[in-house]
Amino acid sequence: MSVLEKIRSRAGLLVGIIGVALVVFILQSALESGNFFFNSPNTVGEIAGKSIDYTTFNAKVQETIEIQKRNSGQSSLDQTAIDNVVQQVWNQFVNELVIQKEYEKLGISVSDEELYDLMVENPHPTLIRYLSDPQTGQIAPMFADEKTGQASPEKIRQFTQTMTDEQESQWLQIEDVVRQTRVYEKYNNLIKKGLYVTSAAAKSAYTAQNTMVNIRYAIKNYKSVADSVVTVTDEDLNKYYNAHKNEFKQEAARKIEYVAFDIAPSQEDFDAVMEDMKSVAEDFKTKKADEDSAFVIAESDSRFFDKSFQTPGSLSPLIDTTMFKAEVGTVVGPFRENAGYIVAKLIATKNAADSAKVRHILIAYQGSGASPTVTRSKEEAKKMADSLLAVVKKEKNKFADFVEKFSDDGGKAKPADKKDGEYYMGKGGDYGWINSTSGFVEPFKNAGLDNKKGDVVIAESNYGYHIIEVLDSKGSQKKVQVVTIDKAVESSSKTVQDVFATANKFANENRTNEAFQKAVVDNKLNKRIAENIKENDKSVAGIESPRALVKWVYENENGTVSEPMEFGSKYIVAVITEVKEKGIAPLEQVKEAVTAKVITEKKAELFAKEFETALATNKTIDAIGAAMKVNVEQAQNVNFNTNAIPGSASEPSVIGVASVLKANTFSKPIAGKEGVFLVYAEAVTPAPAQTDYKAYQQAQMMQVQPRVDYEVYEALKENANIIDHVVKFY
């Protein structure tokens, strides 16, 4: 019996269910992806030794897509949404084949009685999330207690009684989500409770972290001897590699080098648009005033007819001076601007004030940018503004009172740092002097500058309706209304074909990596590099929507040269220059890194012997430093938690040894990251004695336990050897 049935079997249960969109539960996390090819082309991956068949996987993907389309009311999903669905379904398979098996082994489950409690009596946070508005986080009123705003068990019971079949199906999905979430919590809590820090371990850690050591040390840096002095043999490399293979674990990745052939308009394309715009300019000259708007919208790429008036310096430099001297009706152009051409026409001129002193009353409406609390409609706001305008014109002396009573402008409120009676911008609707460059919306500024002292007018902006009184004005300047027809120059089909032909010729003539590299140099091409491309990567720097490229990289061998591939406004020809498979990198692939490690080891052995020789004949750290011709540094209060010591980077090996030295003793030579160290402990301050380590013990447990939520899941996935080839199919 489901919990829903249990709810319905109880007395006093009434109506309804939510109409929120529901999704299938998945434990979200970043997945490790494997990267070798399967024998079966229909396998999307492998989890814990089980191959995931494409047909089965895709059926689940399509089912989830249909659910999301239905819940969102959309007829289709964009690529990003589809990618998310695919990842969700993959995560669900991981959850079922890896995590659920662990629960079953341990016998962890959630009974119907417990689930009822989580769904009704004590709603689980996961359920609360589904019952809440995703924007505000508030529980929907149909589920909320009127007094507390919290989830009401009684309302939840009531709403489960009259559900439609579809709503019931959704409710059962929530049950599954909550059940799985609770099992996950139990599993993690079980592991957390199994983690323990003993009092002895707590005492040891406390002592190590609170014992302070003052040290002096000498360091001989590896860089003090050239690498060429050290002889490295193949035997040395193999010996180091075999002893340190785990250092060279890697994820599958690819490296490519590529050249891009940009698809850019040719001179022929520019010339063609220029000729077209010349014809447009001639037609524009013949248009009457009432025809201009339709003509501009029809001919312009931007489809925009600009009604605003401009001041000197605000137009394009190509037409600014001309338009302020021209007569109304003048058409200029075409001019080349950016990646296209423009034709401009002077529609009207007028004179306006250089500056004006204004005050206003703002009547906002729901959805305008003034205030989220305004509920009136736009029509109601306009009617109110018109009525108030008539009153204000008759009673200007009450303008400030009208501001306090009717204005939705937040600027009217007195700032906390102002005293009663003290002026501030916005007081009584007064915003002082404005000009064409003031930081106000254009309709507001224009209303102030275009009208004369004493005028009261209405201006509409995205904030609502402004009732504006011009208190004063100064100066006069000419304004012009200029409309432009813009047309971008795009690559013609011939241009695109020519670019493709060039890219194709390059690809066909250079089918090997060697030929590719030589051609890049010979043709002086700009070669680009993309490293560490993972099989599931959805982005590659410099390449738009590179999914096809990533698929190609993982379907071909090292050294393969691609055919031209189109990405955005370019064709790309790429060559695979490095292939890394998941697992231990082969020696040849990491030979450079291994060589550097061996050189460092050999230098460390050499320097250690030099320190030992100096230590045998010298009794002080200063004498040893002089004998070795290296500086002697000092560090105070070094302990196990010290991050770095003066004169060096992080040196955990050195700090670890130094923190346990006894006073007046030398360490043995220590091979660090930057060089070989010899440390002398001048003084040791023991950790203050403690009689009880429980608090310290508890603090350490609190540091360890939160890691369970992430690290256990990651460990289970790693142990399952997850191999993900989903990207090849979507």
Q: What is the mean pLDDT of residues 559-563?
A: 97
Whether 224 is in a domain gets the answer yes
Spatial strand order of the sheet with 456-461 comes to 430-435, 355-363, 464-474, 456-461
Q: What is the mean pLDDT of residues 687-697?
A: 89
Query: pLDDT per residue over 122-178, tens digit each?
Result: 999 999 988 888 778 888 888 888 888 899 998 888 888 877 887 888 888 889 889
Cα–Cα dist 45/722, whole Å: 8
530 DSSP β-pair partners: 256
Q: What is the mean pLDDT of residues 107-116?
A: 92
Do 466 and 550 fall within a single domain?
Answer: no
Residue 438, both tokens: 């003031």
Whether 230 is in a domain gets the answer yes
Query: pLDDT per residue over 596-646, tens digit each?
Result: 999 999 999 999 999 999 999 999 999 999 999 999 999 999 998 888 887
Residue 712, both tokens: 């256990």
Residue 116, both tokens: 């009822």
pLDDT score, position 9: 44
Query: pLDDT per residue over 177-218, tens digit each?
Result: 899 899 989 999 999 888 899 999 999 989 988 999 999 999
- Averaged confidence pLDDT in the chain: 88
- How many domains, in total, are found in the chain? 5
pLDDT score, position 525: 96
Cα–Cα dist 497/571, whole Å: 11
Q: What type of residue sits at position 9? A: S
Query: pLDDT per residue over 700-710, tens digit each?
Result: 888 888 888 88
Terminus-to-terminus CA distance in the chain, angstroms?
Answer: 39
Q: CATH no. for residue 428? A: 3.10.50.40
Q: Crossing angle of helices 493-509/513-522, nearest 10°? A: 120
Please count the other Cβ atoms lying within 10 Å of the Cβ belonging to residue 42: 14
Please count the other Cβ atoms lying within 10 Å of the Cβ belonging to residue 494: 11
Do 547 and 656 fall within a single domain?
Answer: no
Residue 1, both tokens: 């019996």
> Which range marks the domain in which residue 375 is found?
355-474
Q: What is the mean pLDDT of residues 326-352?
A: 92
DSSP state of 131: T
Cα–Cα dist 518/361, whole Å: 72
Whether 277 is in a domain gets the answer yes
Residue 173, both tokens: 């999905």
Burial class (CB in 10 A: 0-12, 13-18, 19+), 290: exposed
The percentage of residues in the chain with a pLDDT greater than 90, rounded to a whole number, is 58
| Spatial CA neighbour of 49 closest among 729, 728, 726, 719 | 719
Q: What is the three-class DSSP state of 414?
A: coil
- DSSP assignment string, 220-283: EEGGGS-GGGS---HHHHHHHHHHSGGGGEE--EEEEEEEEEE----HHHHHHHHHHHHHHHHH
Cα–Cα dist 724/720, whole Å: 12
Whether the pTM exceeds 0.75: the reply is no
Per the CB < 8 A criterion, the answer to whether 452 and 470 are in contact is yes
* Residue that wins the pLDDT comparison between 548 and 647: 548
Residue 191 is inside which H or E element, if any? Answer: helix 165-194
pLDDT score, position 8: 42
Cα–Cα dist 552/672, whole Å: 44
Whether 14 is in a domain gets the answer yes
- Whether 28 has a pLDDT exceeding 70, the answer reads no
pLDDT score, position 399: 92
Do 15 and 89 fall within a single domain?
Answer: yes
Q: Crossing angle of helices 378-394/399-406, nearest 10°? A: 160
pLDDT score, position 436: 83
| Spatial CA neighbour of 328 closest among 372, 292, 275, 377 | 292
Do 310 and 373 fall within a single domain?
Answer: no
| Spatial CA neighbour of 565 closest among 538, 539, 541, 547 | 547
Q: Where a domain ends, among 352, 383, 402?
A: 352
Contacting residues for 655 by C-beta, under 8 A, at least 6 apart? 638, 640, 642, 645
- Whether 77 has a pLDDT exceeding 90, the answer reads no
Do 9 and 69 fall within a single domain?
Answer: yes
Residue 55, both tokens: 């047909």
Do 457 and 516 fall within a single domain?
Answer: no
Do 679 and 612 fall within a single domain?
Answer: yes
Do 222 and 361 fall within a single domain?
Answer: no
- Whether 340 has a pLDDT exceeding 50, the answer reads yes
Confidence of residue 23 (pLDDT cuts 50, 70, 90): very low
Whether 29 is in a domain gets the answer yes
Per the CB < 8 A criterion, the answer to whether 350 and 479 are in contact is yes
pLDDT score, position 25: 33
Per the CB < 8 A criterion, the answer to whether 4 and 112 are in contact is no
Q: Where a domain ends, among 580, 599, 628?
A: 580
Contacting residues for 397 by C-beta, under 8 A, at least 6 apart? none
Q: HEC string of 45-78?
A: EEECCEEEEHHHHHHHHHHHHHHHHHHHCCCCCC
Cα–Cα dist 321/617, whole Å: 89
Q: Where a domain ends, among 513, 545, 580?
A: 580
Contacting residues for 357 by C-beta, under 8 A, at least 6 apart? 432, 433, 434, 448, 470, 471, 472, 473
Per the CB < 8 A criterion, the answer to whether 43 and 53 are in contact is yes
Query: pLDDT per residue over 474-528, tens digit each?
Result: 998 888 999 999 999 999 999 999 999 999 999 999 999 999 999 999 999 999 9
Per the CB < 8 A criterion, the answer to whether 340 and 486 are in contact is yes
pLDDT score, position 647: 66
Contacting residues for 75 by C-beta, under 8 A, at least 6 apart? 69
* Residue that wins the pLDDT comparison between 607 and 81: 607
Whether 111 is in a domain gets the answer yes
Do 116 and 161 fall within a single domain?
Answer: yes
- Whether 34 has a pLDDT exceeding 60, the answer reads no
Per the CB < 8 A criterion, the answer to whether 256 and 575 are in contact is yes
Cα–Cα dist 391/318, whole Å: 47
Residue 430 is inside which H or E element, if any? Answer: strand 430-435
- Whether 372 has a pLDDT exceeding 80, the answer reads no
Do 460 and 378 fall within a single domain?
Answer: yes
Do 184 and 330 fall within a single domain?
Answer: no
- Whether 21 has a pLDDT exceeding 90, the answer reads no
pLDDT score, position 131: 87
Contacting residues for 125 by C-beta, under 8 A, at least 6 apart? none
Whether 486 is in a domain gets the answer no
Whether 295 is in a domain gets the answer yes
Q: What is the mean pLDDT of residues 261-282?
A: 95
| Spatial CA neighbour of 595 closest among 342, 237, 343 | 237
pLDDT score, position 309: 87
Confidence of residue 415 (pLDDT cuts 50, 70, 90): confident
Cα–Cα dist 120/15, whole Å: 14
Do 38 and 109 fall within a single domain?
Answer: yes
